[in-house]
Structure 1
Amino acid sequence: MIIKNQTEKAVFMIDFKITEASENTKYGQVRDSIIAAIRDGRLAPLSKLPPISQIAADAGVSLRTADLALQALINEGYCFRRPKKGTFVAAGKRVVKQSICGVLGRIDPVNFPLHALLYAGVMEASIRRNVPTLTLPLPTGEKAQGGPEQMIRNCDRGREFNLRGVFITDRNYYHYGIELAKAFPQKRFFMLNYEMDDFGKMPANMAAVINDNYNGSCRLASRIFGQYRPKTVSFLSHALSDDDITYLERERGIRDTAKKGGVKVTATITNAVSGNRADQIDFAHEAVLKFLKKKKTDFIFAANDYLAFGAKKAIGDLGLNEKTKVAGYDGINLPLEQDFPTVKVPYTEMGRTALEEMLDPEFRMPQIVKLQPEIIMHAKSRGELIR
């Protein structure tokens, strides 16, 4: 299909070759056809491209596909867009836009230390790879002005930055991230840390980099069973959002390993709500006090370290330190007095890995990448960890 377009700057022709048999996407084929016209001189510098509707009609693609092709050309510096004027070929050599990435989540090291560790990993890798990190505003409502979607579009419309992808560090924005990924299929989106039940619903340009919660629990339980020889164990947890299965996978690992080792799992002690770290410690303390006054168990596996701290305090209050032991999970900000086994999750490594995968053209999406955690049996008084 040939397009002839007369402008004040130039007369140019575009030969669109769109085929279903190509491994390239349709918008990628439209993009390549326009690039070919730019490179061989059919599209002169500063010449105006036809409107999206004309490109879509002549290439035999949808308006959405044509728009994605033009946006890709803008991101790569072949073209630029002037508001209410149209899309133009860049003057002279194409402008190479600075690659950047975005983070969607709460950055609050005091109240959300886990999110801060994920962010630190992204930042570390972004500095090393010269891909600056942009903190996206949190969504406040559907299509709200100044929200993440508008900021991404502002980057796309400008001539300076190419936002390559977005990292989601908060499970509360997972489903919003899916909608963003659908709105910007040419960008890559990564969910960090949280293991969601509906990962299968992620679009083709989305992936997850998470901890191997199940295998971490299996390895921890194997070490515990070999060292402490418990006959009965219990699991201590609290509820997460309906689609967050992080703690369920940790519990499943304990139960499966116990079944293989002939160890009885007596009960799951759980709270219907979560809360901050103080709330979790208080809940665990009260729940374990109540539980151990009625039943016995040799070992309590907690879904996280805060719950383990509360359980440890309850065990001490009842004078059962020699009869009942406890283990945690997460390994966030381990204090010097931490004296129970735990699983140290590689939070910063998740951020580093996700950024590297975002930049790797060979990384296939969608995909779930699971990183292996580290088993820590206890800590000495000087903070020297024994693994």
Structure 2
Amino acid sequence: MVLESPAEGHARRQATVEIPTAEPRQENAYLGELFRNAFPNNGAFLPLLGRDVAAFVVNYKTYFSQHNAGSKEPKTMLDPAPRLVLDGQLGMCTLGRSMKDANIIADIYRHTMDIIERAELLGGWRALPAKNIFDVEYWDLEQAKLKKSGKPPVFAGEIVLVTGAASGIGKACVEALLARGAAVAGLDLNPAVTGLFKRPDFLGIQCDVASIADISAAIDATVRAFGGLDMLVLNAGVFPGGTAIAQLDDDQWRKVMQVNVDANLALLRHSHPLLKLAPRGGRVTVIGSKNVPAPGHGAGAYSASKAALTQLARVAALEWGADNIRINTLHPDAVFDTGLWTEEVLAARAKHYGLTVEQYKKRNVLKTEVTSRDVAELAAEMLGPLFAKTTGAQLPVDGGNERVI
């Protein structure tokens, strides 16, 4: 979605002037109202496509049926949803299955606005008759192109928010989701996230997930950039290192709980009004840990926090099923291409077990190395149609851990 407030003046003028055409695809759909129910606490708003767009679709189908009946050959109807919305308060909003498509439409209408304004100054303008418009819209070459076009990517037209997106599993999740056609907002404390990918379907946001204000602002920015939120990947977390319970101080405990549990609760709570509006249903993938089913020495705070997060996800799955939101959890283990594992730490852990580094990386039943991409691919699939009937599930991504099995 492309949203431009500078166009609101043009939209107001067009909303008050009778434009001599009523053909729905070529004319504008006007939003009747703005629903302010997404972020009541901070005054932000979510613009929803409501009754006007529904009427637009009905009118377009009528227009198509009337003119298709007189065609020499039956035509295949295009997607009847509007690609351009003008509203006196909101401004101009263009929509497409991808940000590239939305940007193209926005670019075209920026020029169209200038032409309309100039034409009005010269005395007005008149659209082509409806039949002529239909013939242009449904000419043979366009129909042939439509028939040859393949299926859109699985997440085309959908928006995902990924936390901890600057590196490791989070970055791999962003890549997997972009490859599947989603528009992705990536959050991270590291400012490098803002320049992670130079493409219109990615929005990098520097964000401290432990800050409610940062979370609210990040979700608001996502909605304003892309038009909504369909999916969420809860990946951000901290691992404080090996500290026995007897030496675990309160500050360290609270910090781990704040990032690994409290922040994710806030993200779920703030995302819920948006996820329940997702046309294909809201979806959440939670990145847990092997330490939930099989905790380790010196990981008391981390293991407890991931267990709490997993329970939170299970309860959310129970509560949000009625809203058509599904929530599933992955439990990775020994993902060595992340910032948690330096060469020094790897060498020390391998030596502790009397193994080489390569042997240590494959210390599982399948004798295979688990990478960030492995976790990300499954995280993306869990958001897709293969898991459409699954919620509240927990899956290991660990090459087979004997303690988990």
Shorter-chain TM-score range: 0.3 to 0.5
Higher helix content, 1 or 2: 2
Higher-Rg structure is 1
TM-score (norm: length of structure 1): 0.40
TM-score (norm: length of structure 2): 0.39
Higher strand content, 1 or 2: 1
